[in-house]
Structure 1
Amino acid sequence: MSQPAFLDAIRDSYDTVAADYVKLIKGPETLDPVSRAMIDGFAELLRAGDRGPVADLGCGPGWFTDRLAATGLDAFGVDLSPGMVDQARQAYPHLRFEVGSMTALDLPDGTLGGVLAFFSTHHTPPSHLPVVYAEFHRVLAPGGLLLLGGHTGNDEHHSPQQAYGGHPVSYESHLVPADRIAQLLTAAGFTVTARLEQVTDTGRTHAILLARRAATG
Structure 2
Amino acid sequence: MTDPSAATDFIRAASTSYDAIAPAYTARHPDSLAGHPLELALLAAFAEQVRANSTAPVGDLGSGPGHVTARLYELKVPVFGVDVSPRMVALAREAHPHLRFHVGTMTGLDLPDGTLGGITALYSVIHVPTEQLTAVFSEFHRVLVPGGQVLLSFQTAPAEELMHLTERFGEEISLHYWFRSAEAVADHLREAGFRIQARVVREPAGDEKYPRGFLLAHRPR
The match for 1:207 is: 213
The one-letter code of the counterpart of 2:14 is I
- SS of the aligned residue for 1:169 comes to strand
Structure 1: how far apart are the matches of 2:153 and 2:74? 20
Tell me how far 1:125 sits from its aligned partner: 0.8
Q: Does 1:77 align with 2:81?
A: yes
Matched position secondary structure for 2:65: coil
Moved >3 Å (runs of 4+): none
Corresponding residue for 2:93?
89
The one-character-per-residue Cα deviations of 1:56-110 (angstroms, maximum 9, x if unpaired) are: 0010111100100112111000000001000111111111111001111101101
Q: 2:133 aligns with which of 124, 129, 149?
A: 129
One-letter amino acid of the counterpart of residue 162, structure 2: H
Aligned to 1:198: 202
Counterpart Cα distance in 1 of 2:202 and 2:163 = 20
1:155 is aligned to 2:151: no
After superposition, the CA RMSD in angstroms is 1.4
Residue segments in structure 1 that go unaligned for 5+ positions in a row: none
**2-structure distance, mates of 1:51, 1:178:** 29
Q: Map 1:9-158; keep pairs closer than 5 Å.
A: 9-153=13-157, 154-158=159-163
Q: TM-score, normalised by structure 2?
A: 0.92
Structure 2: gaps (5+ residues): none
- Determine if contact 1:113/1:145 at 8 Å carries over to the other structure: yes
Higher deviation after alignment, 90-99 or 20-29: 20-29
Matches of 1:58 and 1:11, distance apart in 2: 11
TM-score of the pair, normalised by structure 1: 0.94
**Contact 2:30-2:67 within 8 A present in 1 as well:** no
**Distance in 2 (alpha carbons) for counterparts of 1:77 and 1:172:** 22
Deviation sequence 1:22-71 (CA, Å, 0-9, x none): 11114145242112110111112212333410000010111100100112
SS of aligned partner of 2:127: coil
Any idea what the Cα deviations from partners look like across 1:101-122, whole Å, max 9, x if unmatched? 1111101101110000111110
Q: Is this contact kept in 1: 2:53–2:147, CA < 8 A?
A: no
**Cα distance in 1, alignment partners of residues 122 and 29 from structure 2:** 14
Q: Which amino acid aligns with 1:25?
A: H
Distance 1:15 1:185 in 2: 29
Alpha-carbon contact 2:26-2:65 (below 8 Å) kept = yes
> Aligned equivalents of 2:86 and 2:56: distance in 1?
26
- % identical aligned pairs: 42
- Asked if structure 2 preserves the Cα contact closer than 8 Å seen for 1:159 and 1:172, the reply is yes
Q: Distance in 1 between matches of 2:194 and 2:35?
A: 26
**Separation in 2, partners of 1:62, 1:28:** 10
